[in-house]
Structure 1
Amino acid sequence: MRAKWGGTLACLLAAAVALGGCGGEAEGPVKLKVGEVTRSIFYAPQYAALSQGLFEEAGLAVELTTTFGGDKTMTELLAGSIDIALVGSETSIYVAQQGAKDPVINFGQLTQTDGTFLVAREPDSDFDWASLKDSTFLGQRKGGMPQMAGEFTLKKHGIDPQTDLELIQNIDFANIPAAFGSGTGDYVQLFEPQASIFEQEGRGYVVASFGVESGHLPYTAFLARRSFIEDHPEAIQAFVNALYEAQQWVERNSPAVIAEAIQPYFEDTEPGLIETVVERYKSQGSFATDPRIDEDEWNNLLEVMTEAGELIAPVPHAELVDNSFADQALSR
């Protein structure tokens, strides 16, 4: 993972282009280009902010694009093609480890747990993690948060992912469900809604949650280059204000109401399935209820990365996290 980031970032950090996405002093709403790492019900508060007009009320015109993958999202951010990235906080650490002069700063948390689930081929109401020993486990991409949280959880339960089971992690993210569906692996680590789809079809069954097991951490957050934040603090503050309102809206409302609000962003997904997924994430506390990234959460992230062998050296919370906008939003 570090080698891949090294090649990608070397050129970008040497010659980052000037940013031109924000609306500056022009009249009317301030334009912000936001790139999300993937389209996922896991990010329900973001879509609620859009569907409920909260960004518009804050004086913002948010243009949302899906950038498909952490490395691609960070490339877009560093190149100035987007102003804000919704991506795992670990990507800001990878950038810092490459010696960025204009580091990427975490300024608003969206999800506070891992979003994946352990899916088995048969239902198991008395599931024990020891069942994974000597099994074939279809995991996620090395260096990404899902895989790191997965390995962290396995080790927590006394399972060495390198010696106690057959770990498969060379399948592209988009193809993992199909691989399991075609017979690869005894267990698989899946995001929603695929986990619930497998349950509906009787092809797999959720037996555990990696989000519950790995604890609170800044799993997905809004990030921007430090220079952008310094040049456009009012736009960032307006964004975080709207984000906090959306988080509180999600906290107050039922899964059915939330599912109806975000349905336009998942037109090919059956409404009942959206509600099921929202309920599962909400019940385990995956949606952050405010934008702050606490130091304990950050340190948990560092521990997860250390266990995965992806952290060169600890990166202090104060170096890559700016909670001032969240604090202001909470004090309104």
Structure 2
Amino acid sequence: MKITLYENLRAVPYVPFYAALELGTFQAEGLDIRVATSPGPDRTAKDLMEGKADVAWGGPARVLHEYDEDPNCGLICFCQVVARDPFFLVGNEPNSSFTLEDLMDVRVGTVAEVPTPWLCLQHDLRLLGMEPESLERVSDETMADNIVALKNGALDVIQIYEPYVEMLVKDGIGHVWSAAADRGAVAYTTFYTTAGFLRDCPEVAHGLSRSMFRTLKWLHHQTPTTIARLVSGYFPELSFRTLRGAIARYQAVQLWGSHTLVGQRGFEWLKSALISGGRISMGMAYQSCVVTGFDERVIVEAPLPPSG
């Protein structure tokens, strides 16, 4: 059975998925995977529900939003891969004693391409008793535009992910103020599909979880150099040094999980951030959005990492 697996965009936080493709862990589970680029993050869920794709990797935030729009959408998350927030705050000056309170006194550029990074950051601020609306914030420019603004002094700090962080640090232009991953567990990227697909093809879901479990185990025992060599073909626009540095930084903040179970604590934190930021009005229960059986089974099976 050929499985159409949607990729929303090419990004360094998704390195484990590219590693799985290169290591052959999907094929080892008997899966015939065709990776296709979705028409866009806003369209992915609809295509799954319409049968144009079988499974996607993406954020549970998207699934929660779909449930807020349609409580009967039937989308289900499983197999967590990105277990923490991949974004950083990078300033144009060093700030080794940075705290989030510092953001109230500087000009901040936040991510406009997707909503989740800002939703998480604004929730951090609210939890500390601060009003996100009080920030002097540029909210409608791309990360690339904000990098230009940081360089020319129009912004003091920007919210970006890899490889932009590595590029700025390597060039001596940017200084890492904080890593959002340091807040701990957030259910950032999983596979998701429809309840109907899981009902009809449970062994496919089990195979996907096994393949990613094995890949994560492999990743945690490899150097950034080895991983970058494996996946460099997916990032032809990046120098090897930049890709290796980006991967090293993500390894250092433990971005990628040690197993594939979607943890309830990280899911609930994300849901709270979406509610506090006004992205959703209701919070669908963890048990309604997440299936844990495939990943619990894989943890018990404990398949060995590939030898590649």
TM-score (norm 1): 0.84
What is the identity, as a one-letter code, of the residue corresponding to 2:81? L
- State the 1:141 CA deviation: 3.1
Q: Provide the rounded CA distance (Å) in 2 between the counterparts of 1:299 and 1:328.
A: 23
Contact map agreement 1:112 1:287 (CA 8 A) in 2: yes
Structure 1 residue 108 and structure 2 residue 104: aligned?
A: no
- State the 1:202 CA deviation: 2.4
Gap regions ≥5 residues in structure 1 = 1-22, 24-30
Contact map agreement 1:35 1:65 (CA 8 A) in 2: yes
Which residue, out of 262, 271, 274, partners 2:243? Answer: 274
What CA deviation, in whole Å up to 9, does each residue of 1:123-142 have, x standing for no partner?
22233333222321111239
- State the 1:158 CA deviation: 4.4
DSSP-derived class of the 2:133 partner:
coil
Gap regions ≥5 residues in structure 2 = 302-308
Contact map agreement 1:102 1:227 (CA 8 A) in 2: no
Aligned to 1:41: 12
Structure 1 residue 134 and structure 2 residue 115: aligned?
A: no
Which residue, out of 147, 153, 156, partners 1:177? Answer: 147
Q: Percent identity at matched positions?
A: 24
Contact map agreement 1:138 1:184 (CA 8 A) in 2: no
* Equivalent residues in 2 for 1:118-197, closer than 5 Å: 118-141=89-112, 144-163=115-134, 165-172=135-142, 175-197=145-167
Q: Provide the rounded CA distance (Å) in 2 between the counterparts of 1:102 and 1:306.
A: 19
Distance 1:36 1:176, change over 3 A: farther
Structure 1 residue 206 and structure 2 residue 176: aligned?
A: yes
Q: Provide the rounded CA distance (Å) in 2 between the counterparts of 1:74 and 1:50.
A: 23
Q: Provide the rounded CA distance (Å) in 2 between the counterparts of 1:133 and 1:173.
A: 20
Which residue, out of 27, 30, 33, partners 1:56? Answer: 27
Q: How many residues align?
A: 301
Contact map agreement 1:58 1:241 (CA 8 A) in 2: yes
Considering only aligned residues, what root-mean-square deviation do their CA atoms show, in Å?
2.0
Which residue, out of 220, 239, 243, partners 2:208? Answer: 239
Q: Provide the rounded CA distance (Å) in 2 between the counterparts of 1:59 and 1:181.
A: 49
What CA deviation, in whole Å up to 9, does each residue of 1:71-99 have, x standing for no partner?
13323323322211111101111111122
Distance 1:243 1:204, change over 3 A: same
- State the 1:66 CA deviation: 3.2
Q: Provide the rounded CA distance (Å) in 1 between the counterparts of 2:230 and 2:81.
A: 17
Contact map agreement 1:139 1:168 (CA 8 A) in 2: yes
TM-score (norm 2): 0.91
Aligned to 2:45: 74
Greater relative contact order: 1 or 2 (C-alpha under 8 angstroms, separation 6 or more)? 2
Structure 1 residue 298 and structure 2 residue 298: aligned?
A: no
Which residue, out of 284, 288, 313, partners 2:282? Answer: 313
Contact map agreement 2:74 2:194 (CA 8 A) in 1: yes
Distance 1:206 1:248, change over 3 A: same
Q: Provide the rounded CA distance (Å) in 1 between the counterparts of 2:143 and 2:74.
A: 27
